[in-house]
Chain A
Amino acid sequence: MPENILRVENISKRFAGHTALNNVSLTFPKGKIFGILGPNGAGKTTLIRIINQIIAPDEGKLYFQDQLLSPSHISSIGYLPEERGLYKKMKVGEQVLYLARLKGLSLSDAKQKSRQWFARFEMEHWWNKKIEELSKGMQQKVQFIATVLHEPELLIFDEPFSGFDPVNAEQIKQEILRLKADGATIIFSTHRMESVEELCDQIALIHQSRKVLDGSVRAIKKEYRTGEYECRIAGDLSTIRTALDKDATILNIHKEQDETIMTIRADDGISSNKILYALIQHAEVHYFSEKTPSMHDIFIQQVTQEKHE
């Protein structure tokens, strides 16, 4: 079994007057959730359309499970685009069956599977309703079902949670995690990095048509760790200051009633345990946490760095 489900090699795409993708290479590991992050207009949707064979790259190659990507792979991919809609006048059931059959499912398979999904979302009674009779949230659920019904190995969601209310978003999130547990590979594409950060195993940052960073979330965060900690303590301030002095710098300090809130940065080579030990000796520790940079912060840092280079 190949470890990677999809490999993108040196993809470039130009439209009249601008370059949408510039020599982008990515590897998508099987069974993981992969986030393609970047601001609007960075080239994410172009990349996803190329993966879905909606448009062809000017240069570069794509491999699906080590085979050159071809129309025969369409049935192995499920795609929920950012610009998503349904035929308003069509009945919900018919619509889902139609989309599933276009992905290569037989009518009876499509019927059976859609019944299961409708039962799971408790929406059996929608079957004969017209799409235009449904609320926006309901329509989104229908779209979600249509995307996953043919049980594709690779699922691609472009801005998946935009337009969902928090309750539905949570439900969809759980379903996506369940699909991952069942072995599917998932690609998210979003400009709202915080919305998928916690779900992703691996990410790639796209900025101005180029890939600026990629790797596992854990590795990236480790690489970008700042050695800053936030702590809330109660105790004598001056003794704490002297205790910390040789190991760390206090960046920020203020008092809230009888509690002191501090942001400190450990000196190079000083472990969190050592700092915690120093604190415990002189004060009561209520809260101690490493300040990890958010993807957003990392992105900003990376982009500004590039500018200076």
Chain B
Amino acid sequence: MNKIWLVIQREYLTRVRKRSFIIMTILGPILIALVYGALIFIAVSEEEKEHVVMVVDTSPVKLSEGLKDFNRRRPNSKLRFEWKYDDYFQARDSIFNETYSSILFIPRDPVAHPKGMYLAFKDRPSMSIKNALETELEKLIEEQKLLHYNLSPDIFDSVRVKIDLFEKRIRESQHGLQEEADYAEQKFFVAFGAGMMIYIFILLYGIQVLRGVMEEKSNRIVEVMVSSVKPFQLMMGKIIGIAMVGLTQFLIWVIFSGIVVSIIGMAFAPSLLEQVEAGTLQTQAEIGGLDVSTMLNIFNVTDFSIMIGLFIFYFIGGYLLYSSLFAAVGSAIDNESDSQQFMMPVTLPLIFSIAIAQFVLKSPDGMIAKICSFIPLTSPIVMMVRIPFGVAIWEIILSAFLLVLGFVFTTWVAGRIYRIGMLMYGKKITYRELWKWLFYKG
């Protein structure tokens, strides 16, 4: 045990002290923050430009009154309307001599034929300007139509209904039936996020294990090592050491990006707020509306801690399962070019599980989802995707049990292959041979 600890220490320290680790660990969050910051910066600075629309209104209903009202109501908006010409061609002729960016033509009967309206521009309006303009016109024409049918806008508002069905789950408990709110959409994010994180971690650090094993083999250090430690100890030490490197990096990233993002957020917050107010940033604000406080509301506290616990379990279980297979592959091959042949069967189930995750999201209790959440190769990702939607206790216990069984089995298999493969040089390995290695003595 003492020896395995020494191996873990070495694997951890040599990696953590590497220049590339330090650079990536610092640069990673800075890069993320830069991208995030750049996006905000672009969003903010791009909207700075004012877009002046020359309105040519030929209708008797005079939509222009409504647009004038817009100018008054929203003095801060980047969208502004002006009036000067009664004829489209006059307006067009002087567009390059004057400051307005585009011409909005309103035909004689825009209420009956709203498609007769068009916007001719010299500077393309941004998406949000266009959205704001369209929203405003829709509103005005709606008002006209209401007038036409003699309906007051108040009645119209009360007629309009938007349905967002509230979902709740019914559970059986000792105290009888219980109901709890179910936030499917938000859970969707949590579920997919958790599955994705496990996938990325396994792939990223599983390949590090493969590399590490190959390095030991090609450096010819391995025979010296196995005369002091059992091959299994060496393999497990490496797997655990690299997992700790990964966790360290993740932790630093989470903390760092949290700090940096909040600093940037604070710096840009005032101008962002202004824009949300101005209505030009509405859409972005809606997308980003899933904040931490609502996230916590989705799950009650016990559920949340159980979820975190299960996440850690599947995270570690999945990593152990796959990285031991990666170690076995690394020990069996001599050079990088051979690695593809043996990597495929290991990475395939991993890619498969993230691919079917979307189907699992659609029907978390479906047949495929259930089967895949029991198979140890797919369960770390698939079960993690299912859990936020609620999974029966017995299913979790069975799946967890099978996963433990699975990684005990794969580490055993990997250990058998590893101890033989590590000392095998200059020989192309076949699957038949790998199979035989499992039954060698010692």
Contacts and interface: CB of A to CB of B under 8 A. Distances in A.
A27 to B, nearest CB: 22
A81 B219 contact: no
Interface string A263-286: 000000000000000000000000
Interface centre among A83, A90, A102 (most CB of B within 10 A): A102
Contacts, number: 68
Nearest to A103: B228
Interface centre among A16, A74, A83 (most CB of B within 10 A): A83
A80 B228 CA distance: 11
Interface string B216-230: 100111111111111
Interface string B288-332: 000000000000000000000000000000000000000000000
Interface of A: 15-16, 49, 52-58, 71, 74, 77, 79-81, 83-90, 98-99, 101-103, 143, 146
A16 B224 contact: no
Closest 7 CB pairs of A and B: A56-B442, A85-B220, A81-B223, A102-B228, A85-B219, A79-B227, A85-B221
A87 B227 contact: no
Interface in B206-244: 216, 219-230
B284 interface: no
A44 to B, nearest CB: 14
A209 B216 CA distance: 29
B362 interface: no
A52 to B, nearest CB: 4
B117 interface: no
B224 A99 contact: yes
A15 B420 CA distance: 11
Contact of B6 (A55, A57, A87, A101): A101
Nearest to B425: A83
A152 to B, nearest CB: 11
Nearest to A158: B223
A10 B18 CA distance: 49
B224 A90 contact: no
Interface of B: 3, 6-7, 10, 14, 18, 216, 219-230, 419, 423, 425, 433, 436, 440-442
Contacts of B3: 102
A264 to B, nearest CB: 49
A308 B102 CA distance: 107
Contact of B227 (A16, A56, A74, A89): A74
Contacts of A52: 227
Contact of B225 (A88, A101, A102, A143): A102
A121 to B, nearest CB: 18
Given A87-B221, A101-B6, A103-B228, 18 more contacts: A15-B440, A52-B227, A53-B227, A74-B228, A79-B227, A81-B224, A83-B423, A83-B425, A84-B220, A84-B223, A85-B221, A86-B221, A86-B224, A87-B14, A89-B18, A98-B6, A99-B224, A102-B3
Contacts of A102: 3, 6-7, 225, 228-229
A150 to B, nearest CB: 9
Contacts of A71: 230
Interface centre among B14, B219, B221 (most CB of A within 10 A): B221
B441 A99 contact: no
A79 B229 CA distance: 13
A82 B441 CA distance: 23
Nearest to B229: A102
Contact of B224 (A77, A88, A101, A143): A143
A55 B422 CA distance: 12
Nearest to A56: B442
B228 A56 contact: no
